[in-house]
Amino acid sequence: MATKSSKRTPAKAAPDRGQKMNGADILVSCLEHEGVDTIFAYPGGCSMPIHQSLTRSKKIRTILPRHEQGGVFAAEGYARATGRAGVCMGTSGPGATNLVTGIADAFMDSTPLVAITGQVPQEMIGRGAFQETDMFGITLPIVKHSYLVMDIHDIPRIVKEAFHIATTGRPGPVLIDIPKNIQNQETQPIYPKEIHLRGYRIDYKADDVALHEMIGLINNAKRPMIYCGGGIITGDAHRELLEFAERAQIPVATTLMGIGGFPETHPLSLKWLGMHGTVYANNAVNEADLLLAIGVRFDDRVTGKVEKFCEHGTIVHIDIDNSELNKNKVVKLPILSEVKYALRRSNQILEKGGFKRTKTFRRFPEWYKQIESWRKKFPLSFKDTPDVIQPQYVIKLLCEMTRGEAIITTGVGQHQMWAAQFYDFTQPRTLLTSAGLGAMGFGYPAAMGAKVACPHKQVIDIDGDGSFLMNVQELATTHIEGIAAKAIILNNQHLGMVVQWEDRFYGSNRGHTFLGDPKDLDRIYPDYVELCKGFGVTCERVIHKKDLRGAIQRMLDSKETYLLDVMTPYTEHVLPMIPTGKTYKDIITE
């Protein structure tokens, strides 16, 4: 749903009328009306009036990232940690295009985001003016909605609509592109109290008939499974899911985006499934006779060869986005609904039907026995060593030392998978990762945004040396702004995940995956300790296993930005692994 600004929709309630001000001041006032307390914004010629207005705001903290991509990833981190819309801004041209990767990431992972871009004056649009870029057109495929503001009077309505669209239904990014002349014009703004978006529905409620049919399927099942994703977290349905699982006594596997939506320490948890998920989760989901898919989209990294996914099971799919139903996988029972409502209502029906909530699970004894045998035969494990630091060991130790209570962000690569495998997540919004787009460089800026949103929580980026370097400049932002976002780099001097694929499928031929100095193979490059000195940031390098615990403790105790550069072997592979286009039966475990 993406259109240029059209005729103003009359408000149903009496609007608020403000004092006369320019377009930039109106925009900032509207942001304040929407409860925005933080914006990640990099200035330029076509956004200067807005930045001038932001300097006068008493309610909004403006954080200057050192790159617009860092700013949009930080806004995502803020949004994912809170559920509120993250807000970022860039100027026209390259400032705006630098936001595109983050906007696409928010779209893929259903993250509420409002991205504001400055634009050249209206009379210059379409003339190839300096730093002119058609952001409306560029972002059409990767937003829920786009606005090009053509009338100063539209700003209050557009901002209110943007936040409503970004945060309701299936969340996602909204773009507001504002020409500079609109920012400088003056008028008396009218703030609408209500909005009406024709055709935009967010109140889908599951039909009782469909929910009774689902519960009838549960009654007849012998090997049921719940497969749930990010929709549980964005829909704030984790409590309802826990109750549903305990009443129905059905095991649960999440997607990568769904991690934290169901406590991984719970006896019904099989952690997560997919390419690098647990063997027992993949086996259980694929061999289930009833699969309840809740808030998921049957992503290829989860299903493998999609036509073989849960090939012989009956599938129920609950989702708020009608376009996802029967898109990737045709199912027996599609249910269009808010997942929170569907689960809450299902719990009521289960209770009425005599399904007591319990911690003792006996309904499917043979199924539990089978799953437990898979769990014992194929646990998540690694070969520990006396002195060399295995990356999995770092994650397990961090989980122990933080008691599993930190907010963890990641870049993209092997470290991302190990973080998801070996840190036990028990709460939603505690693993923030780029899943759908797989954007390297996400981890540290996301940690910065999450720490701004949750200043009293430990926020730690688990990253790789390749991924971290892509937005290393944000160390300057966290240092100057006093944002105590921590980072652990699992440094193997290589693009580890690509190296793993080279080892598995390309005869270990290295296709430009070494990140170190080929002229001095014994040198650690880049030298993060020296690099951090230039940023004024504390950095420790850890080479020996005996030094790791103390280093992690010093990092956790620090009240400032802190980086641990932990040297790990590049020969380690993320296992298990289902090769692309294969099925769970082709899983590699050694």
The residues that are catalytic are: 68, 130-131, 180, 497
C-alpha 437/C-alpha 420 separation (Å) is 17
Q: Which two tokens stand for residue 66?
A: 């050192």
3-state DSSP helix/strand/coil % of the chain, to nearest 5: 40, 15, 45
C-alpha 574/C-alpha 562 separation (Å) is 27
C-alpha 257/C-alpha 412 separation (Å) is 13
C-alpha 259/C-alpha 239 separation (Å) is 14
Residue 336: CB atoms within 10 Å: 19
C-alpha 514/C-alpha 485 separation (Å) is 28
Strands 486-491 and 431-432, how do they pair?
Answer: unpaired
566: three-class secondary structure by DSSP: strand
Q: Which two tokens stand for residue 357?
A: 């909530």
- Asked if residue 152 lies in contact with residue 180, where contact means CB atoms within 8 angstroms, the answer is no
C-alpha 196/C-alpha 175 separation (Å) is 19
- Asked if residue 540 lies in contact with residue 533, where contact means CB atoms within 8 angstroms, the answer is no
Say what angle helices 279-286 and 365-377 make with each other, to 10 degrees.
150
Residue type present at position 372: E
CA angle 329-334-335, nearest 5°?
Answer: 140
257: three-class secondary structure by DSSP: coil
- Asked if residue 146 lies in contact with residue 172, where contact means CB atoms within 8 angstroms, the answer is no
Q: Which two tokens stand for residue 98?
A: 């630098």
- Asked if residue 339 lies in contact with residue 237, where contact means CB atoms within 8 angstroms, the answer is yes
- Asked if residue 276 lies in contact with residue 417, where contact means CB atoms within 8 angstroms, the answer is yes
Sequence-distant (6+) residues with CB within 8 A of 547 are none
